[in-house]
Structure 1
């Protein structure tokens, strides 16, 4: 085991363009994948209810400028999953953030500027160039696929920054901060010289993967307090970036370790109706409009450790992905800057 003084001695990560890591085209290699199209669930009571609870339109539209949108610039978004199973792949938590990213890439105007920065552990494969290329070429959730050439042109504006540890990730965030500052200066010069409206520029997406898992390395080398301290400092940097570049930057955190305690059997004996019986005999009713919330079940505390509490504190809008009765549900569990708390949608039905 490496000693603590050497835990932060790795070299910083340097960005590379995603398209530069792609192999040459091969015959039949890029056939479009089957559509993953699905409809969001209607309220179970059969009534005609407002659709403002449904996340489907939010993820279909991707990053928006409206302050009413869930996925928008100027905030730190976080995606987490429940720690229900130990065999969940990176694909499980990475699929929705990747879809939001590719939706954004499809809509951008041709530009020499970076449109996305992705900071990720080398073992995380949900954002590797081949996966992004296939996603752009495949029809999904009502979106048509792009040609290979068009998809590669979109990937040309994506910078990947693979990292090994927390220090690498913090250094990579610093490099992105410098790049964003340079982009903002260039845009300001262009605006002054050509009288161009700032709204004509492409939004930029910063995705940071696995800060929670990387922080565990700091905790193993030191202690939980040290881990919480470095994570808090990094979150301050991300929050500052989201506010300074609020007009054109959306920050997405993809948490890979899961929330709650490891309890694989918590949902196996749940009743099939609209109530959940607790150990004390108390019965909790489902929401009045018939929408089932994942939190109307016997789930242990989502944030049982200092690391998990610190993680949640650094996120403006926190979304939870979980499985419920054969469907993948995504639900807004926190929104401290808007009114999206409780919005949910069915991402995928099995």
Structure 2
């Protein structure tokens, strides 16, 4: 079960009380106070583990609490420290204050361990209060209570390539043939109800992570359909692949502009990401129609079909566009990195798009971009 949003109440442990005790030992007259200090309460930590992929293990857990510190004991014995609580979360988890909506932590790096709430301090035993004027103190400090915070955990998946498209456009099929992901594939809309991640491996020991989200429909940024709930999962992606159905009754231009507008309405930062365009289902129409539509779409974008894609193995018989593959320096981010007709069924241009995306991802990894909240 994929769970990407849970609400929790987290509490650190209370400090143990100090001890009131007096030394009582044979042949020791008026031994004086010897009450030990209480133990410190347990802290609350967040720890990032890449082997955890969802927040589903928090289902049914509403209040998580660290252990309390033990009270002090006689003979100046300190109480045991309370056991700390480690909250294990997947990379990409944000900790949000439920009252203010402020982002308290943004947990990204695997192995990252961050203290979130410190446990209460233990109280001092009566041994600390003895003095010339008070040689028999009969009081000790109580422990300090721990803190309690109500938070919401939100998971934003971290991927190199995010697939953006309408329902039933072939996103799940593409990620299933390029990666190790096994999404549901069927001939009806919204077969993808939860985000899917897949690792795309190339033959030169390089790889990248691809994310498939539920299809976006017109008005998704206003709450229609399923896309709005999951658009946040591609906010962290370095590169976007728009998937436009070349066999659809809608014009390619209308499909692309609608998708781009929904992204812009949701997040301007997301709309400014580097991107490419795949013209899917090119096996569903004749080769002549593929050539005509893809060439017209490329020209509509103000581009010209070129042979730059030969570095990635584009089929020369089909019009395609690719910007200079030498890097993003001088790359016009307002235009797609490449435009390419593909077919996941007939495997047309699949090897080409796999390596073209790798080239784009490698370039984005070189660019030190600030991760957008």
Pairwise TM-score range, normalised by the shorter structure:
under 0.3
* Structure with more of its chain in helix, by fraction: 1
* Structure with more of its chain in strand, by fraction: 2
Higher relative contact order (CA 8 A, sep 6+): 1
When normalised by structure 2's length, the TM-score is 0.25
Structure number, greater radius of gyration: 2
